[in-house]
Amino acid sequence: MKRSSSLRGYVITRTLLAIPMLLILLTVVFLLMRVAPGDPISAALGGKLPAAELARRKHDAGYDRPLAVQYVEYLKDVATLNFGTTILDNRPVTQVIAQNGAATLELTFFAMIVAMVAGVGIGLLAGAYRDTAIDLGGRLFGIVLYAAPVFFLGFLAQLTFGKWLDWLPTSGQTSPVVGATLQTHTNILVIDAIIDRNWSALQDVLRHLIMPSVVLGLVIGGIFIRLVRVNLLQTMKGDYVEAARARGVKEPRVVYKHAFKNALVPVITIMGLTFALLLGGAVLTEETFNWPGIGAELVRYLDNRDYIAVQGIVVVTGIIVVIVSLAIDILNAWVDPRIRY
């Protein structure tokens, strides 16, 4: 009884704390975009339109009103999930998020699987066999993976598996033909192909997916290796591990039964933080492999000085990160009662 009420208390406090955080996030994005010289319309279209037309568009969009009025208007828009329409190609930002976000989701989902398998596996081995060749190898592998920029690994992969071995396509999400013929249901191409039972398209989509997701997954996995190892080492020093040893429990059982599970608790927290990192990593991976995700789209809009699009995309990703970290914190509090202070 007491347990559930304290968890509820934690959830409520944590959720309430997320609100000022979101507000600050929104304000900072708004101010950043207004600090930039000129208003969004002149920045994007200046020089391309006559002055009178520019002024008319500015007035229509409300950029000639006082900043405070614009700010309130902006908060209202965000509250009603209206993130505006891009200036460059007149797409609602929500549509950009849905379409390109789906491509990013597909990429990051598979990357996360690669990262989990490689990172947690190698990290556990390295931690369990501390100061042996396995540990050294695993750690070096982890450090080198972390040290390699995702675009450099991508370059090497393109060179090796794309050019020299000619096994995999190096860019894009599909071949042109498949891209043109595949029906859209969810914007996530793997699922779309399965819904249509279009197996040749599925094969094409998966082939395009392998290189980007493995490259991104390995880079994220490098961080997991280090974390899992250090956490395992710290839990191995815990009293309960000592107690298990003292009772004569065999070493492998100590590692897997007593230390391993506890070592994974902090890893869940970090996975939440990695989510933000994953979005950053996705920008680079998308640029490297010509993947039409949200990160590549953001860079394209920034290149074209489309502040509305940039503001919309940054705000939405910020909101998603805040919500995910909220969810992870609550999950952690549920798993580990010590967090609910």
Residues forming contacts to other proteins in the complex (CB under 8 A) are 17, 20-22, 24-25, 28, 32, 35-37, 131, 135-136, 139, 143-144, 146-149, 151-152, 154-156, 158-159, 162-164, 170, 226, 230, 233-234, 237, 276-277, 279-281, 283-284, 287-288, 295, 298-299, 302-303, 310, 314, 317-318, 321-322, 325
Q: What are the Cα distances from residue 66, in Å, to 53, 71, 77, 94, 263? A: 21, 9, 17, 26, 53
Q: Which is nearer to other proteins, 150 or 202 (CB)?
A: 150
Assigned token pair, 80:
């009603």
Nearer to other proteins, 17 or 98 (CB): 17
Task: State in angstroms the smallest separation of the CB of 135 from other proteins.
Answer: 8
Minimal distance, residue 196 CB to other proteins, in Å: 31
Q: Cβ of residue 137: shortest distance to other proteins, in angstroms?
A: 12
Residue 185 CA to residue 198 CA, distance in Å, equals 13
Q: Which is nearer to other proteins, 141 or 186 (CB)?
A: 141
Pick the closer one to other proteins by CB: 52 or 133. Answer: 133
- Do 86 and 308 meet the contact criterion of CB atoms below 8 Å apart? yes
* Residue nearer to other proteins on the CB measure, 21 or 243: 21
Least distance (Å) from other proteins to the CB of residue 168?
12
Q: List the alpha helices (DSSP H) in the chain.
A: 2-35, 40-45, 51-61, 67-79, 93-128, 133-147, 150-157, 176-181, 189-195, 199-236, 239-246, 251-253, 260-289, 294-303, 307-335
Residues of 153-192 as b/e, b for ≥16 C-beta within 10 angstroms?
bbeebbeebbeeeeebbbeebbeeebbeebeeeebbbbeb
Q: How far is the CB of 184 from other proteins (least distance, A)?
A: 27
What is the nearest approach in angstroms of other proteins to the Cβ of residue 329?
A: 11
User: How many CB atoms neighbour CB 226 within 10 A?
Assistant: 20
Distance CA 14, CA 331 (A): 12
* Alpha carbon distance 148, 161 (integer Å): 18
* Token output for 179: 């891209």
Nearer to other proteins, 84 or 201 (CB): 84
Q: Which is nearer to other proteins, 100 or 193 (CB)?
A: 100
Closest approach of other proteins to the CB of residue 83, in Å: 16
CB of residue 277 vs other proteins: minimum separation in angstroms?
7
DSSP 28-86: HHHHHHHHSSS-HHHHHHTTTS-HHHHHHHHHHHTTTS-HHHHHHHHHHHHHTT---B-
CB nearer to other proteins: pick between 210 and 322:
322
